[in-house]
Amino acid sequence: MSNSAHIGLTFRKMHGAGNDFVVIDSRGRGAVTTAALARALGDRHRGVGFDQLAELRDCDDADLALDFWNSDGTTAGACGNATRCVAWLVMRETGRDAVSIRTERGILHAVKMERRVWVNMGAPITDWRAIPLNAPHDPMALPLPGDPVAVGMGNPHCVFFVPDAEAVPLSIEGPRYEHDPLFPARTNVEFASVIGTDHLRMRVWERGTGVTLACGSGACATAVAAAQRGLTGRRVVMDLDGGRLEADWRDDGVWLTGPVADVFTAVLTPEFLAGI
């Protein structure tokens, strides 16, 4: 952590429907996050705690770039709720109603509509190679108990439709499928049940993190899977453990919206950073 270890490191804590993030703004100085820093910060007892860490960077072909880290020190290709939260921050900072954000997924566009920030998370990935799966299986009919659907949203998702999402033991079923050989890059795991017209109850186990209160890319994947199965239309409201998200699968991609909470800004001490 060289330079940062001598002066401390400012960060922001945010959440979207209980899906919580550490946000580090590295524009103007270059990225500082490492796997070791992500693991140390992600420790809810000895660090700060988060579901994902999002780091802002300068970018030539978009307003900014975003990198995502899981609490186990691995990286993530997409994080819908963190993208929404950062877009909200940048819109507040600039006074603009639209912002472009480069991620591993590509350039994502966020706009303020209906008094909310919506982000286009891109087109769903339905090719088995790109999700990825370990063999040419039909993503709509995976060879797993429970007949789940595989959808890629910049990271892999395995979506189960069940009679009662509340009854699923996430801490048991989540890791079982996250590490199934069918998913060479591991997978996020969602369990959803239909509770009304275009209305789902959804719970999630996130790859590299565990049980979370919400997952934006998971909500997008679940909305796509539900529409593909004919359970809902293409615009879906989802009630998650931490709040309500809405996904709208349009011709240009899957758009996501939901609540944004800016909790606090703080500084990591030089002593903490020096110990990493």
Catalytic residue among 79, 85, 158, 220: 79
The answer to whether residue 158 is catalytic is no
Task: Please say whether the beta carbons of 77 and 84 come within 8 A.
Answer: no
CATH architecture of the domain covering 149-257: Roll (3.10)
**Mean pLDDT for all residues in the chain:** 96
**Contact of 5 with 273, CB cutoff 8 Å:** yes
Confidence of residue 3 (pLDDT cuts 50, 70, 90): very low
| List 85, 158, 215, 220, catalytic entry | 215
**Contact call for residues 153 and 121 (beta carbons, < 8 A):** yes
Return the CATH architecture of domain 2-119+260-274: Roll (3.10)
Q: Find out whether 119 and 86 touch, Cβ atoms under 8 Å.
A: no
At residue 1, the pLDDT reads: 42
Amino acid at 174: G
Give per-residue pLDDT as tens, 129-145: 999 999 999 999 999 99
Range(s) within the chain of domains with CATH label 3.10.310.10: 2-119+260-274, 149-257
Asked about 215 being catalytic, the answer comes back as yes
Q: HSE, CB side, 13 Å, CA atoms: give it for residue 11.
A: 25
Q: Residue 7: pLDDT above 80?
A: no
Helix (H, G, I), strand (E, B) or coil at 222: helix
Question: Mind listing the pLDDT tens digit for each residue in 166-186?
Answer: 999 999 999 999 999 999 999
Q: pLDDT of 232-251, one tens digit each?
A: 999 999 999 999 999 999 99
